């Protein structure tokens, strides 16, 4: 059951969470968002690092982001260095490289060095996405964090769900009592994530969306906290729309392939993504390849 007295409604979240990189934005009493200063075409306003916990219990940092010294220092300052765990949703270069520098910075404090959690890079990961955690997360693993040292019967349960597709080692995290899903790059706000074979796989991505739908139903999850962009409301509807969009695009690609059987990826992307700016076609071609492999499988 969600703690109704903690959850801020979506309208309030959207209205009170402007983009800035200097200090964390409180989303709940036990959840803050600090956006890394790495905006761009692939990252939107920047990578969202999430800080879970309170001053009373210490903190878990999810996705410390790129190896940006200023951002890492801000994460340290926001938690007073009391970081109990660092979790990376996946190994891409805008998510995991900040983990070890943040760990090292915490190790210089009296509170000690936290462990880094995640799934190691898959065999198809690119060289700039190598990631080796201290501790490997398991699918359906649950992590519990106290809400208050004076109320040991209250805790936040974080359930891990392995969601390959965008990356082989991608995980999403459910904050069970709060009805929230930390979606990493699997679900974004403002764009669809790139599926880039061979580390990315369209079939796995679609199957993972189904698992996230089941997770939302199981824990009554209402909101999604993506790694790029604002909070998303109506979690199940968002996932359903996203899957329909992907399948619609795949049907369009299949029709183009049928019409132009001897075409190249460049030929097909111009036809299948004619509703997208040509400036984005080089990126879209990565996901096009993932769709083509899925169609042919």
Confidence of residue 154 (pLDDT cuts 50, 70, 90): low
pLDDT digits (tens, 9 = 90+) for 13-26: 544 555 678 889 99
Q: Which token pair is 165?
A: 């597709």
Residue reference for tokens 């891990």: 160
Instruction: Return mean pLDDT, the chain.
Output: 90
Predicted TM-score (pTM) of this structure: 0.91
- Residue 68 has a CB neighbour count (10 Å cut-off) of 21
Q: What is the mean pLDDT of residues 135-139?
A: 97
Q: What is the mean pLDDT of residues 26-36?
A: 92
Please, what sign has the CA dihedral across residues 198, 208, 138, 81?
positive
For residue 146, what pLDDT is reported?
64
**Which of 109 and 2 is assigned the larger pLDDT?**
109
pLDDT digits (tens, 9 = 90+) for 259-273: 999 999 999 999 999
Of 132, 174, 150, 220, which Cα lies nearest the Cα of 31?
174
Q: Could you state, in order of their start, the residue ranges of all structural domains in the chain? A: 10-296
> What percent of the chain lies above the pLDDT cut of 70?
91
pLDDT digits (tens, 9 = 90+) for 205-232: 999 999 999 999 999 999 999 999 989 9
pLDDT digits (tens, 9 = 90+) for 67-87: 999 999 999 999 999 999 999
Instruction: Please provide the DSSP assignment of 7-38 as one string.
Output: PPPHHHHHHH----SSSPEEEETTEEEEE-S-
CA geometry: angle at 187 spanning 199 and 254, to 5°?
65
CB 253 within 8 A of CB 291: yes
Answer whether residue 241 shows pLDDT above 60: yes
CB 155 within 8 A of CB 144: yes
- Nearest-10 crossing angle of helices 235-259, 202-219: 160
For residue 10, what pLDDT is reported?
47
Confidence of residue 150 (pLDDT cuts 50, 70, 90): low
Confidence of residue 283 (pLDDT cuts 50, 70, 90): very high
CA geometry: angle at 188 spanning 182 and 190, to 5°?
140
For residue 29, what pLDDT is reported?
85
CB 286 within 8 A of CB 270: no
Q: What is the mean pLDDT of residues 172-184?
A: 95
Answer whether residue 8 shows pLDDT above 70: no
Contacts of 269 (CB under 8 A, 6+ apart): 281, 284, 285, 288
Q: What is the mean pLDDT of residues 46-74?
A: 95
Distance of CA 135 to the CA centre of its chain: 19
What is the domain class of 10-296 according to CATH?
alpha beta
């Amino acid at each position: 059951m969600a703690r109704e007295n903690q959850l801020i409604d979506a309208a309030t979240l959207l209205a009170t969470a402007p983009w800035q990189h200097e200090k964390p934005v409180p989303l709940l009493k036990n959840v803050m968002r600090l956006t890394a200063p790495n905006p761009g075409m692939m990252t939107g306003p920047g990578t969202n690092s999430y800080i879970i916990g309170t001053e009373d219990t210490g903190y878990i940092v999810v996705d410390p982001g790129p190896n940006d010294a200023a951002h890492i220092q801000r994460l340290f300052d926001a938690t007073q260095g009391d970081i109990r765990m660092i979790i990376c949703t996946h190994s891409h270069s805008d998510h995991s490289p900040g983990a070890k520098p943040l760990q090292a910075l915490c190790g210089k404090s009296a509170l000690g060095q936290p462990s880094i959690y995640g799934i190691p890079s898959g065999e198809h990961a690119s060289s700039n996405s190598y990631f080796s955690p201290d501790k490997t997360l398991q699918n359906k693993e649950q992590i519990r964090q106290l809400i208050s040292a004076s109320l040991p019967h209250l805790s936040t349960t974080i359930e891990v769900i392995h969601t390959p597709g965008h990356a082989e080692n991608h995980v999403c995290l459910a904050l069970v009592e709060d009805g929230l899903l930390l979606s990493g790059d699997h679900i974004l706000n403002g764009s669809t994530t790139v599926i880039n074979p061979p580390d990315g796989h369209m079939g796995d991505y679609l199957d993972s969306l189904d698992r996230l739908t089941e997770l939302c139903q199981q824990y009554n999850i209402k909101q999604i906290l993506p790694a790029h962009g604002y909070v998303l409301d109506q979690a199940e509807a968002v996932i359903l729309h996203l899957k329909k969009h992907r399948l619609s695009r795949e049907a369009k690609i299949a029709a183009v392939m049928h019409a132009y059987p001897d075409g190249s990826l460049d030929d097909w992307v111009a036809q299948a993504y004619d509703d997208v700016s040509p400036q984005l076609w080089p990126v879209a071609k990565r996901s096009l390849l993932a769709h083509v492999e899925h169609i042919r499988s």
